[in-house]
Structure 1
Amino acid sequence: MTVTHVHSIDTAPDPVRWPDIARVPSGVTARFGAPIAARLFRRAASRLDVRVALPDGTNLGSGDPRAPLMRVHRPAAFARRVAADGLIGFGEAYMAGDWDAPDPAAVLTPFAASAATLVPRALQVLRPLVLPGQPAAERNSAANTRSNISRHYDLSNELFALFLDDTMTYSSALFGEVPARWDALEAAQHRKIDRLLDEAGVGAGTRLLEIGTGWGELAVRAAQRGAHVRSVTLSSEQQELARRRVAAAGFADRVRIDLLDYRGVRGEYDAVVSVEMIEAVGFEYWPTYFETIDRVLVPGGRVALQAITMPDARMRATRGTYTWIHKYIFPGGLLPSTEALEQAAAHTALRTEGRLGFGSDYADTLRLWRERFTANADAVAGLGFDATFRRMWEFYLAYSEAGFRSGYLDVQQITLTKGGAS
């Protein structure tokens, strides 16, 4: 695996912008729980293929010099953060510089592979009592969803352009048998998009609904086939750039991009495509998502979804937990399981026709993005994003890569059809 440089914290985190990073927790849970957290971490490290270096010269974990290295610079602060906030604290400790790694994804992969057993079962039952639940303000109701989406996708089009390829596609590529290199990424993104359009039966004259616009590449590819596309997004930044890209490609007359919640879509469509959008819908709204597709899709119509999935048991055990990803990256999100998607669609006329899983391709996509992001650190700083933000983004990309690299997460293209065609 390629090793990437990790940025050090050369200035203290801004206490206004990053209050929970600038201060180390000092409450009762942090102070009295820190020794327990330290013991649990040592126990976990002893079982995993990692090396942990402490500032006093102590080394934990694997004795294999090839095992990925995690350097804990401030053990007391690290333990307090983990004691107070669990995995949120683990991620915040990275943001604060309490620990780092030459290759954070390599370190996080064995942790992800053992995610279900890192905390002893006897202590797992205490999770709801100790860790916070998701804030009501981040439920994906029609009133909240625009704000949730904006916090991530409206950061800056220029930021995303610094680590995405020229297609501006922010979802897993499909490499197949092609080596996963930067110079192969654009073609792999087109391979992914084209497969979705093929599965949805998109061709000349197709009335296509796209739920979740991104920056418009799929809409352009569909218009090149002769389709008439309506795409909906809740990101004003994405809408603006996607419209410009569609116009530059010469398809402004075939592609309409609306700033609209998926629940507000009206009309009839021959096909629906949605790429890694259902993760932002929320558990309680998954049935509404499929009901909406069922409502607007003509009988005999086809649906092609791309969705990140996780094991059903883990999804149900953790679905009410507030995580580091919720707090800093995707408020209100939840990764579905295959079973949950089937259940959510069961009361509609939609039936699953096929699936393709390619989680290892997502791990490679994320690696390429992370390498590009890190290489462009100075340009990211030039956009006004400070060192704490850059470490947060590096952790997010590495954390996500580890999920797919370990097999804990998968990404699937799912094809559905609507019954009732005459």
Structure 2
Amino acid sequence: MTDASEPKGPLDGLIVCDLSRILAGPTATQLLGDMGALVLKIENPKTGGDDTRAWGPPYAETTDGVQDLSAYFMAANRSKLSVAADIATPEGQALVREIAMSADVVIENFKPGGLEKYGLDHGTLCAARPDLVYCSISGFGQTGPNRHLAGYDLMAQGYGGIMSLTGPADGAPHKVGVGIADVMCGMYACIGILAALRHRDATGEGQHIDLSLVDSQMAWLINEGTNYLSSGLPPARRGNAHPNICPYDVFPCADGYIILAVGNDGQFRRFAGAMGRPELADDPRFLTNPLRLENRAPLTEIVTDMLAAERQSSILERLGAVTVPAGPIHTVAQALTSDQARSREAVIAAPRPDVVGGSVQLLGNPLKFSRTPARATAPPPRVGEHTDIAMERLRAALARRKDG
């Protein structure tokens, strides 16, 4: 998809051997690919490639009728070349080893120890290439009593605590609506890989990165995690309410719902005035945020009654005029077709001649570099589509590196 005349990405020249599948690892390698890295995604054609290729419908409608481009797969697998290799065979092991020995980075998400029998584990490859950055993603990490357990996003959300905080106060625990434990683990993986590459460039030393879904999920408990560590009190589910700020919630209005996010005392005073209730700002129960938290129940009841008869547009106009944060709750369709989304290229079209219509619609990369743009360098691939061309590009990249 990239044009030779376009500026190169910030990771141009970086080579990544991608042995990951599902979502966490592919999220990391898609980000690296968007930033210019040459990402070779290893897929076993005998099993249909990445598991998520079959996680549909919906699928992209291909001209050959093969359903291997599920929407789920396409969410995390652009900017990569698919290489067909069965690592259970000597030929597949040799091909992957050739790629790994030429790469800057190897990333995988097999169970701990799962690649040792193929000679593709971090111990073997890092011994052969001391400057290799090797990232292992697993459910619980390479050590600990649960290291042998499989890792799935839902299991990580349950074990790591976030589900206990999510959902209505009087209902069952809920998972987040998308695979956020996987996605955030992929983000941590990308950051860790870039940090390890900086260390390698400074010292010549590679290293092994051990990252788990559960570890990363517990790390992004953020304020609720430290709330517990500071107080010893288990955080409670509050639906859409905030544990440390009030009023900060979703409220019904005459024609739907509205988000109100009052972050400080000045905003609360302006909110009260704009909604025709200035006396609330001087009510001794609501003078400060700690007092508003202490009196959350009566304040929430008052605010609910205040907003219930007002139309959303009127509330937003009045609060916007006094810079009090408030907003609508968009559907996915409204979000992705908004003027803001269009202006920021939140949705992109990736050309694929073998798809009906000639392209697939994807989510854009949110990183906006001023000199080295991040963008989709290739559409989501078919299984093994690039085996030959990937090796040509790999050898060409190595030749350029040697000459440069």
Report the structure, 1 or 2, having the larger helix content: 1
Higher RCO (Cα < 8 Å, 6 or more apart): 2
TM-score, with structure 2 as normaliser:
0.26
Higher gyration radius (CA): 2
TM-score, scaled relative to structure 1: 0.25
